[in-house]
Amino acid sequence: ATAIAPKLVLGADPINVGSLTPNTGGGGPFGPNIAAAHRRVVEEVNAAGGVLGREVQLTQENSETNPETAVRAADKLINVNQVIGILGTWSSSVTLGIMPKCQEAGVIQMCTSSSADIPAKDEKGLVFNFQALSPVWGDAIADLALRRGFKTFSLMALNNDFTGSMIDAFAAKVKAKGAQVINEPFFYNGGQSSYRTEVEQLIAGDPEAVFIPAYVTDFTAVYKEIFRSGYEGQVISVSIATGDKFKEAVGEAANGLLHGVPVPPIGSKAYAMYLQEAGLEDTGEVQHPFGTAGRDQMSSLLLAVEKAGSTDTAKVAKAIWEVTTGPGKKEVFSVLEGLEAIRAGEEINYSGASSSVEFDNEGMVLGRDFQLTEVQDGKDVVVERLEFKG
């Protein structure tokens, strides 16, 4: 059925795409998945004849989750590799850090960052975010938590942008629904040699539940400390901090923990495909929350190039909406399906492994389901789900 798949045109310039992922540093646990997903999509596409008959050339860099290094890496991608887009930035500070360079050079950015500043600072409409912004997280998780009937909460968060706005939204929601936040929400820094004081402060008023948005490395240490402190109330966090590795690291003590996250449409077709591509088994749990986004980033970018028929980034940016967003188009779940459809002259809507990939007019992803999960017997058990209602 691939009669129309073109062969790579010999001698044509390749299409350059950059991937800038947090392979080390704070995002270290996630970056490699994203990078691998990027590479898989590109390999798949190249094997099937490339885009516009041209080979896709992928250059991957490590942001080290550090904006200082990331800017130089972006510089290299832009000026040496002449990429049309930089995909995969994760931490907001990196996404924002390279933004001036990218905007100046007219390079598309695709990220999974959650800072509310991202749309505001994207003046040229070149940034696409595959992650819900953190206020949305806070609101949704609070909503789910309230359904469990907690009346008093204490909040603390890792000190970064992602968690900062999440806490505000969480608190606002809690108050709006008549429950109480009994502490003055506060932040802690990652990479500390102990978190005892912070935990002490958090549980001081003996709240029914505590909410701690964080990253996995520091959350693991914090959670151990909470457990050791003898706190008997409910701990709530975000699922990115409570993956398999977390559960392995803390063992049985993880039982009873609640965590929420925007989820890939588990059971959806694209997600199943992702698991297969990544060689994972379907456990019914959320796996690779960012790897899935990596797949969707690369897929939508390449589809958009094919759609735009050029590598002019303004045109490609416009085409990204065309291939991902809007009703009444043919739904595709993988890049190859999509390419085929585009070449067949069809209008497509790419539905991804991380979400259905619908963007608002600022390039922020819309359609994300949220799910609240409880750890029981070392396994995630879904307790509540909040489906995105288009």
Partner 1 sequence: MGQVLINALVNAALIGPPAVAFSMLFGILRFPNFAIGGYITVGAFAVFAFNVTLGLPLVLATLLGMAVTGALVWLSDEIVFKPMREHSPITLLIVSIALTLILEQGVRLFWGADVRGFDLPLTRPMKFAGMRITVEQVWIIGLALAVASLTHAILRYTRIGKAMRATSDNFMLAQVRGINTGRVIAFTWLYCGALFGLTGTLGGLDLVIEPLLGWNLTIPIFAAAILGGIGSAYGAMLGALLVGIAEELTVLVLPSTYKVGVGFIIIALLLLLRPQGLFGEAQIKK
Partner 2 sequence: MTFYFVSIATYVGFFMIMALALNLQWGMTGMVNFGVAGFYAIGAYTSGLLSVKAGWPVEWAMLAAPVMGLIWGAAVALLSIRLREDFLAIVTLGFGEIVRLFVLNEDWLTEGPRGLRIDARPLGGMLDRDQYAYFYLALVAVTVLIIFLISERIRRSPYGRVLRAIREDDVVAGVLGKVVLRYRIQVFALGGAFMGLGGALYAHYVQNISPDVFMPMVAIFIWMSVIVGGAGNNKGLLIGAGVVMALLEGTRFLGDFMIWLDAEKLSALRIILIGVLLIVVLRLRPRGLMPEEKFRYNP
Ligand X SMILES: CC(C)C[C@H](N)C(=O)O
Return residues touching partner 2 (CB under 8 A): 19, 21, 23-24, 31-32, 35-36, 39, 59-62, 64-69, 71-73, 75-76, 78-80, 91-93, 96-101, 104-105, 115, 117, 121, 159-161, 164, 187, 189
| Kind plus residue range of the DSSP H or E element containing 99 | helix 92-105
Residues 81-110 that bind ligand X (CB under 6 A): 90-92
From ligand X, partner 1, partner 2, none, interface partner of 270 (C-beta below 5 to 8 A by class): none
Residues 154-183 that bind partner 1 (CB under 8 A): 159
Does residue 206 belong to the site contacting partner 1 (CB under 8 A)? no
One character per residue 33-72, x = contact with ligand X (rule: CB under 6 A): ----------------------------------------
Residue with Cβ nearer partner 2 (88 or 207): 88
253 DSSP assignment = G
Q: How far is the CB of 229 from partner 2 (least distance, A)?
A: 25
Residue with Cβ nearer partner 2 (61 or 380): 61
From partner 2, ligand X, partner 1, none, interface partner of 192 (C-beta below 5 to 8 A by class): partner 1
User: Who's near 361: CB < 8 A, 6+ residues apart?
Assistant: none
Q: How far is the CB of 253 from partner 2 (least distance, A)?
A: 28
Q: What would the two tokens of residue 3 be?
A: 């009669």
Residues 166-225 that bind ligand X (CB under 6 A): none
Residue with Cβ nearer partner 2 (193 or 389): 193
From ligand X, partner 2, partner 1, none, interface partner of 182 (C-beta below 5 to 8 A by class): none
Q: How far apart are CA 204 and CA 286, in angstroms?
A: 33
Contact 273, 247 (CB under 8 A): no
| Count of chain residues binding partner 1 (CB under 8 A) | 36
Q: How far is the CB of 189 from ligand X (least distance, A)?
A: 15
Residue whose C-alpha is closest to residue 29's, from 226, 212, 288, 324: 288
Residue with Cβ nearer partner 1 (64 or 340): 64
User: Who's near 351: CB < 8 A, 6+ residues apart?
Assistant: 265, 268, 269, 270, 331, 332, 333, 357
Does residue 162 belong to the site contacting ligand X (CB under 6 A)? yes
What backbone phi and psi angles, to 5 degrees, belong to 210?
-120, 145
Residue with Cβ nearer ligand X (115 or 311): 115
What backbone phi and psi angles, to 5 degrees, belong to 154?
-125, 145
Q: How far apart are CA 215 and CA 320, in angstroms?
A: 30
Q: How far apart are CA 115 and CA 366, in angstroms?
A: 15
Residues 4-33 that bind partner 1 (CB under 8 A): 23-24, 28-29, 32
User: Who's near 91: CB < 8 A, 6+ residues apart?
Assistant: 22, 26, 27, 63, 65, 67, 113, 160, 162
